[in-house]
């Protein structure tokens, strides 16, 4: 009888342990399912017409293209004085000067027409002022006239613009051109140096702006309110630095 009771107790204990294991297994499975549900995120809801457009046909997120306004060259007769003092300053490191200012004089050789004068302003991310000059300011080009063109620039032309100017000068022998630049743009780059040499070879007179050239540009192209230009302290030293660099580039074969 005692043996039978011990056997029953062992059987009850085994059944109880088996029941606890089953309960723990179900609870563990339930927790696992909950974790998986949380990882998968909330159930998807029906997409509206706008959602379908934003997410695309295959459910992948897509950005609709944004149409940007066209870049425009700014043309005028006078430059803001603060812009001139910043953009034309002939510093060695031109940080933040991401525009090109081009002041031009065009003499067509006809006394009745006088001088064509103006300014162009661009940003390096768009069409350049040099290219815009030929399309906007010489749109009425007459091959029977003799043109004398002078530019005063905040920075010398890039490689692409230099090639364009050289092409114009080589193809139109009735155009004579002089460029006075405040700074040399990326003067250490080989393609820039090649462009300056091409300009020189095409007959363009390349010069760095002297202190007197800055004063002339200020008087002629800037809204100066009849105020004189106070040149920065190192203007002459910086001119001599750039003048030497340009001479080395043009003399190098």
Helix (H, G, I), strand (E, B) or coil at 75: strand
Report phi then psi at 152, rounded to 5: -115, 115
Respond yes or no: is residue 31 known to be catalytic: no
**Whole-number Å distance between alpha carbons of 229 and 203:** 32
Q: Maximum distance among all alpha carbons in the chain?
A: 140
Buried b (16+ CB within 10 A) or exposed e, 115-129: eeebbbbbeeeeebb
Point out the catalytic residue in the list 33, 45, 130, 186: 130
**Whole-number Å distance between alpha carbons of 59 and 47:** 10
Residues known to be catalytic: 130
């Amino acid at each position: 009888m005692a043996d039978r009771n011990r056997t029953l107790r062992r059987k009850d204990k085994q059944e109880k342990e088996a029941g606890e294991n089953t309960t723990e297994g179900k609870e563990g499975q339930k927790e696992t399912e909950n974790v998986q549900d949380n990882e998968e995120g909330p159930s998807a809801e029906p997409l509206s017409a706008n959602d379908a457009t934003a997410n695309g046909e295959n459910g992948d997120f897509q950005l609709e293209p944004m149409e940007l306004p066209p870049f425009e060259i700014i043309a005028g007769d006078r430059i803001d004085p603060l812009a001139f003092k910043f953009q034309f300053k002939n510093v060695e490191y031109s940080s933040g000067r991401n525009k090109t200012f081009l002041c031009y004089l065009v003499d067509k050789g006809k006394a009745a027409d006088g001088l064509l004068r103006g300014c162009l302003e661009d940003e390096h991310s768009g069409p350049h002022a040099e290219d815009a000059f030929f399309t906007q300011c010489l749109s009425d080009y007459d091959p029977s006239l003799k043109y004398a063109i002078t530019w005063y620039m905040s920075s010398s032309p890039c490689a692409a613009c230099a090639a364009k100017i050289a092409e114009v000068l080589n193809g139109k022998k009735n155009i004579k051109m002089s460029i006075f630049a405040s700074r040399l743009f990326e003067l250490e780059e080989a393609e820039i140096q090649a462009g300056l040499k091409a300009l020189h070879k095409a007959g363009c007179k390349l010069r760095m702006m002297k202190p007197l050239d800055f004063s002339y540009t200020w008087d002629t192209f800037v809204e100066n309110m009849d105020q004189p230009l106070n040149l920065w302290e190192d203007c002459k030293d910086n001119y001599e630095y750039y003048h030497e660099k340009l001479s080395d580039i043009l003399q190098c074969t």
